[in-house]
Chain A
Amino acid sequence: AQSVTQLDSQVPVFEEAPVELRCNYSSSVSVYLFWYVQYPNQGLQLLLKYLSGSTLVKGINGFEAEFNKSQTSFHLRKPSVHISDTAEYFCAVYLSGGYNKLIFGAGTRLAVHP
């Protein structure tokens, strides 16, 4: 079965500290990986995506993620967070090979404190 696991439901962090939001997936078919951000009562905005090529992907707002095929992980990182980064973050996996579906993790709530 295909699934996406976000290992932390909540991550509290102080402003200007580094942060890592963890994501693992399981799939028997080729996958393409995404991170989305959601601010309160809004839709999802694409942060970054991995399709192929370099395993280190840079996105908007200073975020980056690294695809690790052997560990089936796609962790999101930022070296220095701001108060404005407080939001819900979703890891998602797009299944190819006839499935054609985007599967989401349960989300990680990032709370940045002053």
Chain B
Amino acid sequence: DGGITQSPKYLFRKEGQNVTLSCEQNLNHDAMYWYRQDPGQGLRLIYYSQIVNDFQKGDIAEGYSVSREKKESFPLTVTSAQKNPTAFYLCASKEGNFNYGYTFGSGTRLTVV
């Protein structure tokens, strides 16, 4: 079955370390997105990519970086510059036709200690 795979589901890191969250999709979707979720704040857009080798900053890009070398993959790196990285991170993808909405992965919960 087609879908989005995020790994790992839970991730623990020490403060000051960079960490990369994986997002892979086999839906052949062109656009991919990273959202951060904090309690009571909904989902906030970190980065998005409409096509391979191109990506744009979202509303809260500071302290994060991404790459889009393959259509199927859109990894997110949380750098040591991110002041409050502990959160639930969601990856999503979308077909060119927006009618189908976004498809979401099951998320990665990152805890920085």
Contacts and interface: CB of A to CB of B under 8 A. Distances in A.
A100 to B, nearest CB: 7
B97 to A, nearest CB: 10
A45 B104 contact: yes
A55 B38 CA distance: 32
A48 to B, nearest CB: 10
Contacts of B33: 102
- The size bracket of the interface on B is 20 to 34
Interface stretch (B13-21, B42-50, B61-69, B71-79): B42-50
B67 to A, nearest CB: 20
A34 B98 CA distance: 11
Interface in A21-57: 32, 34, 36, 41-46, 49, 51
Interface of B: 4, 6, 9, 33, 35, 40-45, 48, 50, 58, 88, 90, 92, 98-99, 101-102, 104-107, 109
Interface of A: 4, 6, 9, 32, 34, 36, 41-46, 49, 51, 90, 94, 96, 100-107
